[in-house]
């Protein structure tokens, strides 16, 4: 089968997921360009994680269309997984292995050769100024450094798209900024980044953001356009305005 055309890194049309009667994700449509940092915002329970699980090929959508890194999320979810990186909300490294051993492990999972693993590990750790932790056991690292390392392991196999699920929650403020500089650099290298966060300061760092409320994607735009549109100063205010406004308009009671 020929590989589909790669216009966008992520392209989704009317993507829907139902669990019995409950519509967790309701006809969302959006495109993300190569090298873009795309913020995936929304209230708790709005459907972000469900949407992300469909995009990384671990949850079958109910209906709609979707392509990630050029692969159809319905038909090619296996192949798709080789071309994406994923950093889960829950810390996902092995505590008893060293930083380097973790990278070796994840490189192995993605089928890299020993030679590739060595050179890629060195390349990433050097590039992000982390060589000095290579022999450290993960359990001894502060959370922020663990997250930086987890990001490196998600990049081992040179994915086209990386998905980051609340990567900086609870992380020290300066390390959090170092983490975002890693994201910027990675995106400048042509990797597409989709990131969820509840930190509205970080929403401002994204090229574009989407906002989900009750399973629907109610807006996709640049942070600046959104602030201009609603005449608000910060993304935090925009978030409150959109989430509260939508809830009122559609009379959503917390459920």
Partner 1 sequence: MTPISAENIVMNYGKVKALDAVSLKVEKGELFGLIGPDGAGKTSLIKILGTLLLANSGTAEIEGMDVVKQYQNIRRQIGYMPGKFSLYQDLTVEENLNFYASIFGTTLEENYDLIKDIYKQIEPFKKRRAGKLSGGMKQKLALSCALIHKPKVLFLDEPTRGVDPVSRQDLWDMLQSLKKDNITILVSTAYMEEALLCDRISLMDHGKILATNSPDGLIANFDKPLYAIRSGNSFNIIKKLKAYKHANSVYPFGDWVHYTDKRDTIDPLEIKTYLENNDTPNVEIKQIKASVEDCYMSLTSKNQNYEPA
**Residue numbers at the binding site for partner 1 (CB under 8 A):** 42-46, 89, 132-133, 135-136, 140-145, 166, 169-175, 177-178, 180-181, 184-185, 188, 198-201, 204-205, 223-224, 234-236, 239-240, 243-244, 253-255
Q: Which CB, 16 or 169, lies closer to partner 1? A: 169
Backbone angles phi, psi at 13, to 5 degrees: -135, 120
Q: What angle do CA 232, 238, 243 make, to 5 degrees?
A: 145
- Stated as kind and residue range, the H or E segment containing 243 is helix 235-249
Place of tokens 């502060």: 142
**What is the nearest approach in angstroms of partner 1 to the Cβ of residue 207?**
10
Q: Which CB, 80 or 138, lies closer to partner 1? A: 138
**What is the nearest approach in angstroms of partner 1 to the Cβ of residue 46?**
8
Residue 26, classified by CB atoms within 10 Å of its CB into exposed (0-12), middle (13-18) or buried (19+), is middle
Quote the CA–CA distance of 25 and 23 in Å, as a whole number: 6
**What is the nearest approach in angstroms of partner 1 to the Cβ of residue 130?**
9
173-188 and 143-155 helices, crossing angle to 10°: 10
Q: Which two tokens stand for residue 179?
A: 């983490």
Q: Which CB, 2 or 174, lies closer to partner 1? A: 174
**What is the nearest approach in angstroms of partner 1 to the Cβ of residue 133?**
6
Q: Which CB, 56 or 212, lies closer to partner 1? A: 212
**What is the nearest approach in angstroms of partner 1 to the Cβ of residue 97?**
15
Q: Which two tokens stand for residue 60?
A: 């079958």
Q: Residue 226, Cβ neighbours under 10 Å: how many?
A: 22
Q: Which CB, 110 or 143, lies closer to partner 1? A: 143
């Amino acid at each position: 089968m020929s590989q589909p055309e790669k216009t966008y890194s992520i392209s989704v049309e009317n993507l829907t997921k139902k669990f019995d009667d409950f519509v967790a994700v309701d006809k969302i449509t959006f495109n993300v360009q190569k090298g873009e940092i795309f913020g995936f915002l929304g209230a708790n329970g709005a459907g972000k994680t469900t949407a992300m699980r469909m995009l990384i090929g671990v949850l079958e959508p109910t209906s709609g269309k979707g392509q990630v890194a050029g692969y159809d999320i319905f038909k090619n979810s296996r192949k798709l997984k080789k071309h994406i990186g994923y950093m889960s909300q829950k810390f996902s490294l092995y505590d008893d292995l060293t930083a380097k051993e973790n990278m070796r492990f994840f490189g192995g999972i993605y089928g890299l050769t020993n030679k590739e693993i060595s050179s890629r590990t060195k390349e990433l750790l050097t590039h992000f100024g982390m060589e000095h932790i290579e022999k450290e056991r993960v359990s001894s690292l502060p959370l922020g450094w663990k997250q930086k390392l987890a990001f490196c392991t998600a990049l081992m196999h040179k994915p086209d798209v990386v998905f980051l699920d609340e990567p900086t929650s609870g992380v020290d403020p300066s390390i959090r900024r170092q983490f975002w500089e890693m994201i910027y650099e990675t995106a400048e290298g042509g990797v597409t980044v989709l990131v969820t966060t509840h930190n509205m300061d970080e929403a401002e760092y994204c090229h574009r953001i989407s906002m989900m409320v009750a399973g629907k994607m109610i807006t996709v735009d640049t942070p600046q356009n959104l602030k201009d549109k609603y005449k608000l100063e910060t993304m935090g205010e925009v978030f409150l305005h959109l989430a509260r406004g939508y809830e009122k308009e559609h009379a959503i009671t917390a459920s």
